[in-house]
Amino acid sequence: MKAKFSYSAYGLGIQSEISLPELPPARGNSDVWIRFGTAKWPGLARAGKPYSFFLDGTDIYLSWHDAGVFLVRRGQEIIVDPLPEVNEAVIRLLLAGTLAMVLHQRGVLAIHASVVAINGQSAVAFLGEKGWGKSTLAAALHSQGHTFLSDDLLAIDFDPVGRPMVRPGFPQIKLWPDSLHCLGSDPRLLPRLHPDFEKRASQITRNFCCDSLPLQHIYVLSYGVSPKIETCSGQAALLEIIRHSQATRFLKDQGNTPGHFLECVKLINAVPLHQLKRPNNLNVVSTLQRLVEMHCQSQDLPVLEDSVYS
């Protein structure tokens, strides 16, 4: 199989027939191939939804209603069957998300989150629903000199002693114009991610980590009258991880295999999860940034007293 481009992301060497300039150049072996081909949709479309999925054995089909069909096979191949005249930027955007299914097939725990490393040493992940500011908070921390690891996707390996390690993604963060204004940037200077939406692609040109780092804290953004951090543990923490995992997000109940469930349990037993409560207001971003910094630097951090399974 011939490919024009070689990239690296989430610990994978990627050979691609499609240009993906957001991704760094290849750093090692070729693990995944991306190519154009025929991927006949075998299922039924979900009315009113932007995408549909279908599992055929171990193959994952994702049908994006404005782009085409993506077929993910064996954690090694993505076949792109685009609609006629679809914008190349749309294909690139969806491919970045489809890599989550590649990781899932390869047994890597993938969670919808943004990730930075405080002082370049220990990684922290931000989970939350769309529009709750995961990327904005990660960008705010990066602007203060902390290291950027990934936007939208937290990819977890476990080292030989069971410590969760974050695979770095690629140096781009997606932000809405109001978030960019809040962070002191002009959205007019940045390209749109999708021709129909205002969200912009901001390239990370400094303080991007290319190596795996240990995950120390997980924060779930949620509503609160004033900014504060509360520790969550046990079954409640496990449910948050499952709810935000990419397998659950894309594949619903069919993605929650026994192996996926046990990986979520393993993560929650190893890393504390906190509710990061906040008003739904961009004016508190700098406050949240300082709150997370102080929490990570504190010598009196909360410790999980109970695990999901001991």
pLDDT > 90 in the chain, percent? 71
Q: Residue 45 has what pLDDT? A: 55
Q: Residue 266 has what pLDDT? A: 95
Q: Rounded to an integer, what distance in angstroms lies between the CA atom of residue 240 and that of residue 112? A: 11
Asked if the model's pLDDT at residue 304 lies above 50, the reply is: no
Read off the pTM: 0.90
Find the mean pLDDT for residues 34-59: 79
Q: Residue 12 has what pLDDT? A: 95
Q: Residue 48 has what pLDDT? A: 57
Q: Is 249 exposed, middle or buried (0-12, 13-18, 19+ CB in 10 A)?
A: middle
Q: Residue 257 has what pLDDT? A: 84
* Amino acid identity, position 126: F
Chain region(s) in the chain for CATH 3.40.50: 111-297
Find the mean pLDDT for residues 84-112: 92
Q: Tell whether domain 111-297 is in CATH 3.40.120.
A: no
Q: Rounded to an integer, what distance in angstroms lies between the CA atom of residue 264 and that of residue 185? A: 37
Q: Residue 254 has what pLDDT? A: 78
61 DSSP β-pair partners: 54, 71
pLDDT tens sequence across 141-189: 999 999 999 999 999 999 999 999 999 999 999 999 999 999 999 999 9
Mean pLDDT across the chain: 89
* Amino acid identity, position 237: A
Phi, psi angles (nearest 5°) of residue 152: 80, -20
Find the mean pLDDT for residues 220-236: 93
pLDDT tens sequence across 232-284: 989 999 999 999 999 888 887 777 788 899 999 999 999 999 999 999 888 89
Asked if the model's pLDDT at residue 308 lies above 50, the reply is: no
**Closest C-alpha among 306, 310, 304 to residue 272:** 304
Q: Both ends of the chain: CA-CA distance in Å?
A: 47
Find the mean pLDDT for residues 97-114: 94
Asked if the model's pLDDT at residue 290 lies above 70, the reply is: yes
Q: What confidence tier does 71 reach under pLDDT thresholds 50, 70, 90?
A: very high
Find the mean pLDDT for residues 42-63: 77
Asked if the model's pLDDT at residue 40 lies above 90, the reply is: no
Q: Residue 310 has what pLDDT? A: 33
pLDDT tens sequence across 75-86: 999 999 999 989
Asked if the model's pLDDT at residue 190 lies above 90, the reply is: yes
The residues, ordered by sequence, that sit 6+ positions from 142 with a Cβ below 8 Å of its Cβ are 116, 148, 173, 204, 207
**E-assigned strands of the chain?**
5-9, 12-16, 32-36, 51-56, 59-64, 68-73, 77-82, 109-111, 114-118, 122-127, 147-150, 154-158, 164-167, 172-175, 200-203, 213-223, 228-232, 273-278
